[in-house]
Structure 1
């Protein structure tokens, strides 16, 4: 079963198939493995309860991951020597139980010969492209030179080898004058014939027999397969490009995209995408104008008009990897079908988005992306869910930052005569509130976008750069599968660790609920104040402006509420920073200087507290 699972033997229905109790690998939704199907990594699962007791957890995981990766590789590179070793004249060694050191040494020799032959075929395949060929005469000569070492190639050779080995072990050890007499006697006693015929105490512990019998061959297969898969991911599937796509759009790493999206959603200068009876569109840029419109949520047609070209224009204007650029008659498509879409919401969440002045008004908007196979082994549905959570949080913060920026620099509303006739509000409390809110929100945005997103992402990029350099060094030195031992699962773990670090820095993990709730209450308070300030300065239909004294009293109350909510948020952050290492993301996935920059979740929160109140201003009572 292990030989079939790892590709050392043709499958006979014992490894990756349905309803086989002899297998500890379960496959869901795959009826015809190896016959033109395109497997999904999430279809495979390890059934730990069916793993034999003498197989360690590490060995079981190695067998499972090798089998899963092999089937993913076969679906995309069927002509590769690792996919069909026999078609290249390579006979994989059989997995057999061995119970003494001499035979276990032969297992290592078989693994080395198998690796040498397979590496030669892989190099030849790389020179000839994707054309399936047999082993060249040079490779066959190399295999023939080592044929005498393949003691299992012929039954007679195997029998003679065992007889010669038994005769050598039956001989008495040669006398040695360098050993103390006592130690010499102990060794002779240990090697003396046992009363029970056919047994000897000079053998490895029985608990290690399975590992010593199988591990050399299994590790060779796994190492070469990982090396081939990583080359396929990085060089054929544009893995780095698809990963960078998530940073540019889900994590707002593209400044042009963030600016255009902010303008399309919030700018009052753009023409509204709403349909009004008797009013024709001018054909200019249109937006949703959230914050100055009365109807919400927008219709799907409004979303399409407002967000048209926001992603496509920024992508095709900056990327150099557009494979359709030289084909003007063909419609250019975004990788993974990247586009805006509507998020599925519960009834309670639908209620929250109905308020255009609330923090959750845009929670229905999401980015849709489907990674191409086999990159879905790394950019998994779970990681895409984390990207979506981060995108929703950063979009909320982007909106509040847009609002506070225009409070500091007032933006006249269109078609509002009061903006031209009324004198700007000169209340000192409103001015104080405006400046402090802008400072707090700007500090939050800078911290979350740099310490929260950029630093972990840069650290992950550095790790991937190092892997690519090691791959190039292997190619130059001809040492295939020696410097790079990571596989798709290791890349997926690095990717998941980066996302967990970002979630922790953005206060989006489950145990950070108190700080997150306090932050949302603080941002809601800022949005409510922005609406109040707009009413006081420009008025609004259906509302009556307050007198100066009443407005000042309400502004003072709102300011004190803002300070109270900010104080609660800072207290929650201080509580988190004091719990360093308790459930925090382990930064050991980072390397070198990157680990010093990304100092873990506790260090990031301390930096946030410092950015908000270096002089402990917000710890003082409100004057």
Structure 2
């Protein structure tokens, strides 16, 4: 059934309806009279009406008016001059038109005779032909005139030709490149103006939607090209990573251009190209360029002044590429996007990964050997005329400082744990053992590289090496022996087997760029998803760096084993025993000789009896002459050797002291032999004569800081210290910082021995029968004897604690862990020996000394309790000096009684406070109820620690809470 739009009451098309305040009222256009109240006979009524209509005269036909535009179309289509007949034919045609069964609704445009019969039967304008719809929109919504908006009309063929140039990043007849904004702008637009292109059959909205994708592609292509130009201008000193990165970007852009050249519109089929289909084909390339522009910080939404600064250093550059690749793999982006990012990462990181591998001797070119063998020269620490040795010593630390300690964030945590130590271990291993098997392996044994295909991943997982990717040659050469095959890495040398003159036609110097073909092969072989063996990118990364982790661990273990199992002067255990014996005074022969050289326990003052007598007053001003038989007027430096005071200057620096102390070291070597470690005893003892030595340090001078200038104080010998020159690679394990801790302990031990020697002098003075203490003051004599006993008990307990618990209780278990038998048993039993490399061993050595310093209350954080201990020792020494003055007759008994009583009162107060503070530290710290030598399961000795050892100090000083209960 066909419905015709006929309204006999419509107004003129040009008439303007009266404005209505709201919707117009809907009025009925017909009237149905009510039926009469009588029986109805429809059949007879119809026959009667038919007879009446037949007898009526014919009425004139009133043809309805149509819109003016449709009337013009009808008039143009007809050759008749009778306009009324044409309109009548129009209505009759509408009644007889066959439209099928889909829709019977007609628009005015479909009533014209020129309308195509193949067009859609719908009445919606948006579904009509493009020109009809554009004309209707232009008529209904006319554009307002705006001087800032430039509208250009273009045909579809002209637009496609322009878009083909735009996507390649080239200006066209419709758009041109603006260098300031780095965008394509419409031709003819000035600054501040906007341009719109209107394609035939499309309005500016549809046209802009179609063109926007191609403008985005062209803009991003051009921006990446400009970015590539800037990278290529960088200096070669920035390293190969940035240039490999630029090459990967150039290859990617060339690949995209080749893809664009294959895509429509093609010149031969421009007219048959559909914009919608063309728009969809370029969708993937827009996604690729948007992803690449985000990587380089050149997205379309950024203006040139907002571009982020590009860091060309390898670490942040590779980390950024890896992060974007991981993001696209997690988002399951199209395979081509992930493949391009994987290609950029593989290309850019190739040289950097090889450098990392070569830094630990893994693959790459052969490692250079050091020309110097450590231990061959005993005078390697002496400065020669050329200064080569001294310069070579500094190169170790300079080389270690120059090693890069920052790596990309995609390096596995296992690799980051072993790589820095392995790089430093390689430097030390070259010096310590240039002929080590790890340094003489053939080069290019293995390379670090990314692999992405499932086959290569499975191959590496099984422990094999994947086959290298070799490009197919462009042209095959005909060798002399056609049956001869070449290895892939030697295929380029097949030219030497050709007949002479066979290459005349083609130049041998022709360069063929196969990077695009390599990229296409890489994209084709890139998997849609990672295989189940490595389901995520971090799993794949761990597999890629697996061999490097193993090699780095092997290298670090090799250097550690060299220092532990060496039979020469690099045996670390022997050096530790040497340091313990001399710098910590645990060797009996050296300790006894040093005590004889620096201290004296004689009970008589002997300095004034010699020809070079010395007085305390003459420390700063010595009289020009001294009358024979004059009574000395200075106190007695109790406990010090009289030979140190012969020159009447303090400190007694001179050639005699140096020679005497040197003799102490050399003589003690003859009796030291049983305490040194495996195999290295002979060489270590032989070299110890010039590695060990006493030296004089410059100490600060000022109020409260110049006690070392007074021989009466406990700090009188602080100017003296022992220095040690370890072998060159051993400086990592025995660094200057570690030696300074040894020297702090040495100074503390000298102070303790000085007080002990003073107490021994006091006991010898008390044995005198001719001049006993306090002959008339019995109470003072009892106090002196009591004080002497308490002081001697305090000093002897402290000395026993320092040597047996603080030093040996921590040092001996540490040394015991360095024997080869312990390492072998720990390795066979699957235990961790506690040291993965020499740097961890050096940290363990430093922690050992920190524990000993803590046990001796010498750390900076223990200043308060350490001052209490030091003040107690100073009071004991002051007590000995006062007794010495009383013994010499310099003090009267009543004077000495009050002085000694005052010193004892201070000493008792200090000791009470010290024991209380120690008890508080022990209560706050971990329980220390174990024995002096703690033994764990298996008989392994464990160190007592630092704070833990204070429990034993409290037991030694206050076993029965004597000081805590004292009034």
Question: Same fold by TM (over 0.5)?
Answer: yes
Match of 2:102? none
Q: Is the 8 A contact 2:857 2:865 kept in 1?
A: yes
Q: Structure 2 CA distance, aligned partners of 1:324 and 1:462?
A: 18
Q: 1:323 to 1:67 in 2, by over 3 A?
A: closer
Task: Give the deviation of 1:272 after TM superposition.
Answer: 7.5
In the alignment, the residues of structure 1 paired with residue 439 and residue 470 of structure 2 have an alpha-carbon distance, to the nearest angstrom, of 28
Q: Say which of 585, 590, 607 aligns to 1:257.
A: 590
Q: Is the 1:598–1:604 Cα contact (8 Å) retained in structure 2?
A: no
Corresponding position of 1:422: 771
Q: Which residue of 1 aligns with 2:445?
A: 92
Higher relative contact order (CA 8 A, sep 6+): 1
Give, in angstroms, the shift of residue 506 of structure 1. Answer: 1.0
Q: Kindly tell me: are residues 460 and 153 of structure 1, through their superposed partners in 2, closer, same or farther at Cα, counting changes over 3 Å?
A: same
CA deviation string 1:212-265 (max 9, x = no partner): 210333323432552355235531323222111101011111022112111211
Q: Which residue of 1 aligns with 2:852?
A: 502
Alignment partner of 1:600: what SS?
Answer: coil
Aligned with residue 438 of structure 1, among 783, 787, 792: 792
Distance in 2, Cα, partners of 1:72 & 1:612? 46
Aligned residue in 2 for 1:379:
734
Shift of 1:613: 1.4
RMSD of the TM alignment (CA)?
4.1
Is 1:396 paired with 2:711? no
Distance in structure 2 (CA, Å) of the matches to 1:67 and 1:324: 28
Match of 2:170 in 1: none
Distance 1:437 1:256, change over 3 A: same
Structure ID, larger Rg = 2
2:909 to 544, 552, 564: 564
Identify if the C-alpha distance between structure 1 residues 333 and 319 changes in structure 2 by more than 3 Å, giving closer, same or farther: same
1:518 has 2:854 as partner: no
State the TM-score, normalizing by the size of structure 2. Answer: 0.46
Cα distance in structure 2, aligned partners of 1:441 and 1:291: 25
Q: In the alignment, which of 516, 523, 529 is matched to residue 199 of structure 1?
A: 529
1:317 to 671, 693, 707: 671
Gapped runs of 5+ residues in structure 1? 14-31, 111-148, 158-195, 280-285, 326-331, 413-418, 583-588
Give 5+ residue unaligned stretches, structure 2: 1-354, 368-387, 473-525, 614-624, 627-639, 675-680, 776-780, 928-933
Is 1:300 matched up with 2:645? no
TM-aligned CA distance change 1:228 to 1:365, over 3 Å:
closer
Secondary structure of 1:317's counterpart equals coil
Alpha-carbon distance between aligned partners in 2 of 1:308 and 1:80, rounded to the nearest angstrom: 37
After superposition, the Cα gap between the structure-2 partners of 1:565 and 1:7, relative to the gap in structure 1 and judged at 3 Å, is: same
Q: Match of 2:823, SS?
A: helix
Distance 1:431 1:382 in 2: 44
Paired residue for 1:361? 716
- Deviations along 1:345-388, whole A, 9 cap, x unmatched? 22248612111111110001100111102111211222111111
1:487 corresponding residue in structure 2: 837
CA contact (8 A) 2:807 2:852 kept: yes
TM-score by length of 1: 0.69
Structure 1 position 464, deviation (Å): 1.0
In the alignment, the residues of structure 2 paired with residue 55 and residue 347 of structure 1 have an alpha-carbon distance, to the nearest angstrom, of 53
Partner of 1:410, secondary structure, is: helix
Matched, 1:151 2:151: no
How many residues are paired up? 489
Whether the 8 Å contact between 2:851 and 2:947 is mirrored in structure 1 is: no
Q: Is the 8 A contact 2:415 2:545 kept in 1?
A: no
Distance 1:12 1:315, change over 3 A: closer
Task: Return the alpha-carbon distance in structure 1 between the equivalents of residues 412 and 466 of structure 2.
Answer: 28
Could you report, residue by residue, the CA deviation over 1:443-501 in whole angstroms, capped at 9, with x for unpaired residues?
00001111100011111122112x44435998xx9x9x999983212322332222122
Higher helix share: 1
236, 243, 247: which one aligns with 2:576: 243
Residue 549 of structure 2 is matched in structure 1 by: 218
Task: Classify the secondary structure of the residue corresponding to 2:721.
Answer: strand
Which residue of structure 2 lines up, in the alignment, with residue 529 of structure 1?
879
